[in-house]
Every structure is written in structure tokens, then in C-alpha cells.
Structure 1
Amino acid sequence: MLKRYCGGFFLLLILSVAVHAQSRNDETNYLYGKELLKKEQFAEAANVFEKLAVPDRQSQFAAYSHYYYALAEFRQGHYEKANLTLLKLVESFPDWSDKQEAYYLMTLAAFERHKPEVAVDYLQKIKSRELQTLATTAADHYLQQIHGLDTLRTLYQKYPANTSVAVAYAHQLQFAPRTPENQQTLEKIRGQLPAERLNALGKAPEQKARYRVALLLPFEVKAINPDDINRQNQFVLDFYQGVQLAQEQLKNEDGEPLVELFVYDTEKSPENVKAMAQWPELRSMDLMVGPVYTNGSLVLTPFAQQYRIPMVNPLSENAEIIEGNPYSFLAEATLESRAQAIATFALGQFKGKKVGILSGTDRRDTALASAYQQAVEALGGQVVVLEKIDGRLNSAVKDVVERLQKAGVSHVLVSSEDAFMAQNFITSLELLGFRLPTVAPGSWLRDATVVSLPQWERQNIFFFMDNFADSDKKAVQDFQRRYMSRARLIPSVYAYQGYDQMMFFGEMLKKYGTGLAEGIHQEGYWPGITLTGFDYSQGNDNRFVAVVKIEDGTLKIVNAPTSAAFEFQKR
């Protein structure tokens, strides 16, 4: 009996010592994890807290370890994992004293996962006044980024008393069609908002008879040599004359000129742009076109946001220019948007998920190839062949084509504008008798001496292009006639860009007035007049990337919305 008793006593003693040792180790690891968080070593911190975040673990640190584990995952951008950990936290520790902190982080994680209804639902559970203020600020930021009335209307119907939802919805209603229903809802919201929240709506958009448009372009007037036919700034002059032709065509309701142009010579100098931003007259503009170069654009973007003046870079695809700024736009698609558009089309068009990517050696070629790989994988595809080669090497191109054939890919993206790559690729396909669905740059079509149109048509080749003007199209012929009458030159692609961009943004000014920056997201796809069109429904870069195919000697856009579909005749 004594032996049994003593045995039990020593067992309890051993367990007590073990629990004490575990507690001491837990405390050490817990403090170490917090130190890692302070140093922003989030991956390492997550590893520490994951081991401590066990619901049935006999530790005083279990609840807080869940929270800090979720925080470490959140700071790494792992929002789904953070949310799942927080759900486990509030379910396992319903009486946890800092549960409000969990709801706040759950709100942020839901917004980051683009689930605004879930986010607002969590926000409603926050009772702490301090955290409510922080959550409301976050909600204002995220909800203002939602484009389109349907999502905000649904949110408002479910949470009519939430001021962040009401402000975001009212803000969009200001730029929506002025129907009786929209106006009635807008006035209702204005009546229910407290005075301090009314200021968040900003100034209502204004309709004008004439809009002031600044052109901030590198004319380099001082360096122009009239006798030099190969002027470096010729593209700027072409663009400008295209803009002028659009200006002549744009009229207000009274038939008067809609747009007044103010021209500034930036001379490729960020310092010049910085100085111009100090000029009071620039603050009176309704739209700024330019600067062209990224460094100049980045100088002006804070100005555009501060004074709420839409700014359009006409030629760049650099996403940095529009990042975090609702008043900065690109007339082109970013590299990432271009890859996303092409991948969405290709994976929907061609059967199978196996994809090949063939890239040239140019930095832009490899950047698009990398963005395309990410887009394909995000959409559920699998890149099974990824090669970077010199397109001039016929044998190397042929080897890759053979690998693509053996791998059984559904399609291949060729990321190279090199004419040698185009010729060697199409020749390899024909030698192997391999008809592979291919997406390639539209620049391959420029030189018919490299590959003939019948050769392209025999193969299953699709071309992506942003700026294609067909000389058989009536609108293009009209533009060419007007342009040559003015400039005594055949229009370059920059002339078409200047014309179409000014026509588009001019029409947006006419429709939305000073609310262009918000209203433009309501438009959807807008077919171009001489080029392929615009779409800002999903962001601040032009998301429409035309994909064309030759059929019966005709270049046809195959990815335009049905209501706006049109075709280009053979050149």
C-alpha cells in the first residue's frame, strides 16, 4: 500500500516538475517570439508562435500565441492563414480579455482578402472605442477602393448604419447616373451622416462647359533643329498633333470647344516638373497628360493626389506611377495587367492547363515571361516549359519547340519582339508539322518579309497588341487624311495614341466632369476610334489588351466584349 502510494506521489512530483519546466520553456519561447516581431522577422516569429498556439496546451501563453501567430502571418501577406488562426483563437478562448484585438485583425484580413462584407461583419463586433476608430479608418481606406455600385449597394442594404459603408456608397453615387433612385439614396445618406463624416464625401463633381487640360511633355523646344528629319523628340510632336486633332473634334452641348489645352515643356527634367508643380495655374487644371518619363511622373503624382487632378501617363507601363494614388492613370496596361489579360484569355481559349513560355534575352522579355508565369499559376495553370534563349539561334529555337511538343502544352507564350525569333519559331513549327496554339507580340506582324500572312494563318497564332491602327478602317482613313493635311507627314503610332487618348479622356470629362477619376471606373470597355480601346473598370491602368487572330486574311479581335466587338481588315 505504501509502495503504491509512494509510486503515485513520485509520479505526481515528476509531472509537476515537467509542467513547470514546460511553462518556463513556453515563457522563454514566447518572449523570444515577441522580440522577433519587434525586429519584423515575421517568418521566424510565426514558426515560434505556431508551436505555442495549441488550444489544449496547459499554458498561460496559448491565447496570446494564437494572436501573435496570426499577426506574424498577416504581416507576411498570408491573410487566409491569419484569419483561420484568429477564428480558432476566438472559438478556443471565448473569454479571452483581448478578443477585441482579434476582431480588429480579422477585419483587416478580410479586407485584404477582398471580402468587404465579412470585414464589416467583424467590424460590427468591435466594442472598444479606440479600436473602432482604427477599424473605421481602415474601412474608409478599403471601401473607397471598391469600383462599381453593386457591391456597395449590397453592403449598404445590409449595414445602413455603418458610416464607412454609407460614405463609400454615397461617394460612388455622386458619380453614378443621376437617376431619381440614386439621387434619393444620396440625399438620404447625406441626411443620416454626422457633420464630420460629411466632409469625407469630398466636393461633389462639377460639370463645366470647358475643361482645362495640361500637356506636360518633353518637347525640348530649345534643342529642336527644323532641318533634322530624325529628331529625337519627333514622337512628342506626333503625339501632340494627334491631341490637337482630338481637341478640334471634342465639343460641348452648345457646339463649342470642350477642351482648352495648356502646353508645358518638361525637357526630360524631373526638376522642371517639380518647379511646375509650384505654379498656381497648374492647380486649376481638370486633367494633366504627362509627364512621359517615370521619374517626372513620380514627382507629379503627390501633386495630383493633393489637388485631386487626374493625371495620365500616356506611354508608360510602370505600375509604380499609379500605386496607391486614385488620381494617377496609365494609358497602357502595366506588365502585370498585360500578363493577367493574356493568361485569362489563353487558359479560357485553349484546352488543358499545361503551359509553355519561351522568352528572349531582353529584360522586358524576361519580365513579361515572369509575370505570365505568375498569372498562369494564379489561375490554376502549370508552366511545364520555361526557356530563355537567343532568338537568332535557329537550332536553340527548334530544340525548345520540340520540348513543347513532347510536353503536350495547351499553348505557349513567346515573349520576344525579335524578328529572328518570330521567323525561327514559325519555321520550326512548320518543319515539325506542329500546329501549336501560340500567343505572341503584335510586333511580329510588322514585317511581312519575315513571315507572310498565309504562314501566320496556317498556324494557330494569336497576337497581343495595344496600339494597332488598320488603314482600311474608315475612322483610321479619316484620321490619316486630317493628320497629313495638318502635319504633312504619315501619322506614327504616337499620333494615333495622342488622338485616341484625348478623345477618350475628353469624353470622360464631358460625362463625369471633375469626377472623372471616380467615374471612369464605371465605364467598362470603351472601343477605340483608331486604336483598340480602353478599360479602367478594374484599376487605374488600361486593362484592355487586344488579342487578335488572322482569319481569311482578316485580323480579328477575339477578346473584345461582344457588345463592342469589331474587326480589323487585312492591311
Structure 2
Amino acid sequence: MTFFSMGRQPLGWLVAGLLLTSPALAQTPAKPRPATPASTKARPAAATTPAADAAARYRTGKTQLDQGNYAAALQQLAPLAQPSARFARGADAAYLSAVAAARLKEWAEAEQLLNLLRTEYPTYPNLPDALFLQGQVSFEQEDYDTALKTLDAIPQGRLTPEREAMKTTYLARVRDRGTWQRLLRRYPDDALIGRAYAEHLVFGGAYADADRPQLDELVKKFNLDRARYTPRPRAAKKSSYSVAVLLPFELNDPSWQTVRKNQFVTDLYAGLRLAQDSLQRAGRPLQIFAYDTGADTLTLKQVLALPELAGMDLLIGPVYKSGARLLARYAREHQIVCVNPLSQDADLVLDNPWHYLYGPSSATQGRVAAQFALSAFGAGRPGLLLHEDAKDPTAFANAYKAAYEAQGGKMEVLRRFNPDVVESMTAAFTGLNLTTASHLVVVSDNRTVGPQALKVWRQQPTATRPPLLAPGSWLDNPRLDISQLNAPGQYFVQPKYYDEYSPGYRRFRQLYLQAQRLPPSIYANQGFEMLLYFGTALFQFGPGFQAGLAGTPPLPGAIFEGQSYAGGAHDNQVVPIVKLNNLEVQVVR
């Protein structure tokens, strides 16, 4: 094992960001105020709305939109967009309603509103912005032909950089070879499409020898850099592999505050080292090279400039979001698989075949939880879903709602709230019709949310109380007594569940105690399981193991319930759902 601590040296590194919203929305939303409890489904006005009332609703809807309360904004604005409302600013209402629906990822509803805008208000002066948004909506629904045609309909000279950025981003997500060939036939002179397909072949792991003539033609036709677009030889299996671990050890700051703050990093690394020993004993030798990336992206950039990093077989890290995209980009460009050990952000691996999340993303957790709810609670009655107004809970909620409704269920209520604002919390939990609900989902790790949710839930008589589905973090919430979580009908999404009495964990714990003189933390568990799984994949499939993992069925873990990247997934698809039974945790899915 080799350890490197980086000093500070000047290094140039450019990271380009993409803004995929309409320029009309390129503003920083104000801190959300309490959301108005409402369904995301807007209903057209049944009759003409009086002008004064319509103007007031329009102002309210715009304010809600600016504050990030998209469901409430959609409820206010969508009826005003209907021709029957005869509202003077109906076109603006249609566009802003579509914006709100898009922010909620209600793509079908956004498309309907944009079609309404183009049909009923063809002279709308902000039509280029609407076309730009409709391009995004079509891309999100994987309707690439409509998306490209819509973007081409924007007048020349308008939103040109934004259109190119959108096309580049969404084309990078295309995986199907047939779709690529169809796009190349229909748009033979589009340089962005040609370059995107070349990127897909060379950096997306899709290249085969039969693709060389077409790749050569694209390089010549669009004057691409031949050195960049020459596929590297496929890495063969080896007798030993090198793994780079890029973590913020912060060795240049030995203060107790930093040491304590970084204990989780130390634990994670200790788990990796123990997995290295286990693989070594199994005849699978790995060399770990640890790099201190510090707490800022500058140090990470310095590490990425080291020549030896390009010769690694696997990259692990980082733990902070600020550096995740940097390392993901490096992994793609150098065609080295990178595993993020802690992130739940599915966007990190959305268009990068060389990047994996060790755990399940928030979106995968939401999708799996919805599948469980349908099988356990049925789809005969509507569900209720409340979620914190933050990235991961919102991703969970959107995926849950989409999966639940795609399979015949209905979510009657979808509310977002700010757990730090009392009024927002109160509004979210007020007026819930628990009597007729099939189940209640609450998505927030904030310690104040669990007590509030249980208070409202337990006020409902037991006979008519719907099941409650909540994050597994509630089981460790010091503000909740374990007896409060033991009632019938309570279920928890617990991706980090492991059985303390299983032989695998007990053996790991014994080895860890011998090495560290301390019991393992959850981070040590994760480090051990992560390297054991991906290290085994290296020896089984070689450094380019994406296809191998895609065809491997779910496997039980040494500590956790299991790992699965079947079907080309780039985050773990195994998401345990648990409940307490006589104060003992029981896996129900």
C-alpha cells in the first residue's frame, strides 16, 4: 500500500456547467415559504374567471413559482391558461404552468400545456423560450426526433449556446444503437449529433471493430481530433490490479477538530484496507494507492494531474459533491471505472458509463419503495406523499410518484416542505385525509420531521390508520423512542441495513477489532463491502467490467443485503424495506 499527500501547486482545469432551464427561469429562487397543500394535477377552470380574481390568481401563481412551490403554482396558473378562462395573460399562464410542471418532472402535463400554448397563442412573443422548454420536455420523454425538430424551430440567433448545451447533455444519455443510427440518418449534417455519437463509441464503452468505418467517417466529416477519437485497446485481465483511493484525509491539519470531523473518512479507508486483505487471502492481490484530496477542489485537481493516476484500474472517491463531477469527468476521459462511495445523486452517473454509485440513488430508492407499496398496500385507494424540499428527498418523491402511478396507483397528495420553517411543516401535515388513503409516505432525514409525522399519524384511530413508509434514518433518531416505531403498519426504506448476527458480519467485525481495536462504524462496513464487490469484479471481468456487471444477477453481500447493477444500472438496485417486529428489525422486501 502506498500513500501520497499532495502539496499545493498551480494547475489549470476547466469545468463547464450547463443550465438546462429556459432563460426566463435563470433566477435564484427565494427560500421556500410554506407550501399550499395541493395536488400536482391542475384542473381547467369550469367557467370564465372574473378579471380581478384571475389577476390575483396569476400574481399568486407567479409568486409561488419564484419561491419554488411548483405544485401550488401549477394549481393557480394552469386553469388560467385555458381559452375558456378568457384571461388576458393566458399565454403567460400557459408558459409558466409548463415551467412549474417541468420543475415537478411532470413531463406529460408540461407537454400538454406547451401544446396548448402553441395552438391557442401562436403569436406569443416569448415563443422561443417555450420551444426551448418543449425541447427539454421531449428529451426527458426520450422523444429525440421531436426534441431536435422543436429546437430547430427556434429562430436563428436565439438561444444558440443554450440549445447546443441541451443537445449535448441529452444526446450523451442515448444508449440504444438503433436510436443513434436513426438520428444520424435523419440529421446527417448535424455536427453535434456526429460528435456525440463518436463520444458514445469511444468513451461510452460501445465501440466494436465493426464501428471503425463509421467512426472514421465521422472524424473526417466533422473534423474531429483523431487522437482523441481513437479507441484505446480493451484492457485485458491481469494477475494484480491497482486501485486509487481519493479521499479528504486532510493530513496537513492535525487538529482534533479536523480529525474528529474526518473520522468517517478514516473508517471508510480502514474498511477498504480490510477488504484488500480479504482479497489477498483469496488469491486476488490489489494494490491500494491513497491520495489526500483535501477539502477543496484545488487539491483534487492537483491529484488528477499526476501521471500515474491514468494507469490505475479503479478509482474510489470522492466524498464531497464539489469534487464528484471532476473525478467522474476524469474517469470518463481516461476510461477508468470510478465508484463514488457515499453519494445518492443519480445525476452523477446519468450519462457516464465509467461512473458508479456504491449505494442506491435516491431515485432508485423511491422506485423500489413504490413497487413495495403497490404489492403490500394495493392500488385501490390513493396514497399521500410528503417530502422535504431538498435534492435527494425530491428525487425520491418524484421517482416514487412516477413508478407508483405507472403501475396503476394514484398519489392523491404530493407536498413538499421546509423542515426548518414551522409554518411549512404545519401546512404540510394539515388536512391529510388519512381515512381514505392506502398509505402515507414521509421523506425526510431531518430529526424534527419524524416526531411530527408520528404525532399526526397516531391521531388517526388504529382501525382506519393507513400504513406509514419512512426513511430508515428514523430508526436512529434520538428524538424517537423505539417503542414509537414498533407499531403495526410502519415500514422503513433502509438501504444500509445489515444483520449484526449474520456470520459474514460477525467475521468482519472480529477481523476489524483485531486490526483497529475498535468496533466498525457504518462507514467501515461500506468501505469493506464496496472494495470486496468491485475488487472481485476486476478479477472476474477485467478493468472494463460494465458489461459483466450488467449481466450479473443480484448477489448477497458479505455484510449488507446485496449488490446489483443488472441491466446496465450504475447504482445499486438492492433496497431493503424493513419493519420492527417485537423491537427486532425484520426485512420485508
**TM-score normalised by the chain length of structure 2:** 0.62
Check if 1:385 corresponds to 2:446: no
Contact 1:46–1:72 (Cα < 8 Å) also in 2: no
> Pick from 288, 303, 314: which aligns with 1:276?
303
**Paired position in structure 1 for 2:292:** 265
Q: Which has the higher contact order (CA 8 A, sep 6+)?
A: 2
Provide, for residues 255-279 of structure 1, a one-character-per-residue CA deviation record: whole Å limited to 9, x for no partner.
Answer: 5452100011111121111111111
Unaligned ranges ≥5, structure 2? 1-110, 123-129, 150-167, 218-228
2: CA distance between counterparts of 1:363 and 1:135? 31
2: CA distance between counterparts of 1:405 and 1:452? 23
2:520 match: secondary structure: coil
Quote the offset at 1:211 in angstroms.
0.5
2:411 match: secondary structure: strand
1: CA distance between counterparts of 2:131 and 2:257? 64
Relative to 1, partners in 2 of residues 1:265 and 1:461: Cα closer, same or farther, differing over 3 Å? same
Alignment of 1:130-529 (within 5 A): 130=188, 168=206, 171=208, 194=213, 202-225=232-255, 231-251=260-280, 256-352=283-379, 354-359=382-387, 365=393, 368-369=396-397, 372-387=400-415, 388=417, 400=429, 403-406=432-435, 408-419=436-447, 421-426=449-454, 428-434=456-462, 435-446=465-476, 450-452=480-482, 456-529=485-558
Coordinate RMSD, CA, aligned? 4.6
Identity between Structure 1 and Structure 2 (%)? 27
Alignment of 1:84-95 (within 5 A): none
Relative to 1, partners in 2 of residues 1:535 and 1:141: Cα closer, same or farther, differing over 3 Å? farther
2: CA distance between counterparts of 1:424 and 1:72? 38
Contact 2:349–2:357 (Cα < 8 Å) also in 1: yes
- Give the structure with higher Rg (CA): 1
1:417 match: secondary structure: coil
**Paired position in structure 1 for 2:97:** none
Relative to 1, partners in 2 of residues 1:541 and 1:428: Cα closer, same or farther, differing over 3 Å? same
1: CA distance between counterparts of 2:258 and 2:143? 61
Contact 2:363–2:395 (Cα < 8 Å) also in 1: no
**Paired position in structure 2 for 1:536:** 565
Quote the offset at 1:307 in angstroms.
1.1
2: CA distance between counterparts of 1:417 and 1:386? 18
Quote the offset at 1:465 in angstroms.
1.3
1: CA distance between counterparts of 2:397 and 2:547? 32
Relative to 1, partners in 2 of residues 1:136 and 1:363: Cα closer, same or farther, differing over 3 Å? closer
Unaligned ranges ≥5, structure 1? 1-41, 54-68, 88-107, 147-166, 172-189, 560-571
Amino acid at match of 1:463: F
Check if 1:77 corresponds to 2:138: yes
Quote the offset at 1:359 in angstroms.
3.5
2: CA distance between counterparts of 1:543 and 1:289? 19
Amino acid at match of 1:514: P
Deviates more, 1:487-496 or 1:515-524: 515-524
**Paired position in structure 1 for 2:27:** none
Quote the offset at 1:545 in angstroms.
2.0
Relative to 1, partners in 2 of residues 1:237 and 1:135: Cα closer, same or farther, differing over 3 Å? closer
Quote the offset at 1:318 in angstroms.
2.6
**Paired position in structure 2 for 1:157:** none
Quote the offset at 1:356 in angstroms.
0.5
Quote the offset at 1:476 in angstroms.
1.1
Amino acid at match of 1:382: K
Contact 1:339–1:372 (Cα < 8 Å) also in 2: yes
**TM-score normalised by the chain length of structure 1:** 0.63
Quote the offset at 1:251 in angstroms.
3.5
1: CA distance between counterparts of 2:407 and 2:387? 20
Alignment of 1:36-51 (within 5 A): none
2:529 match: secondary structure: helix
Greater share of helix residues, 1 or 2? 1
2: CA distance between counterparts of 1:270 and 1:341? 34
2: CA distance between counterparts of 1:280 and 1:553? 53
Contact 1:398–1:428 (Cα < 8 Å) also in 2: no
> Pick from 574, 577, 584: which aligns with 1:547?
577
Provide, for residues 80-135 of structure 1, a one-character-per-residue CA deviation record: whole Å limited to 9, x for no partner.
Answer: 88869999xxxxxxxxxxxxxxxxxxxx9xx9998959748957986x9x459987
Amino acid at match of 1:258: P
Contact 2:492–2:579 (Cα < 8 Å) also in 1: yes
Relative to 1, partners in 2 of residues 1:556 and 1:141: Cα closer, same or farther, differing over 3 Å? farther
Contact 1:123–1:132 (Cα < 8 Å) also in 2: no
Contact 1:248–1:257 (Cα < 8 Å) also in 2: no
Deviates more, 1:190-199 or 1:229-238: 190-199
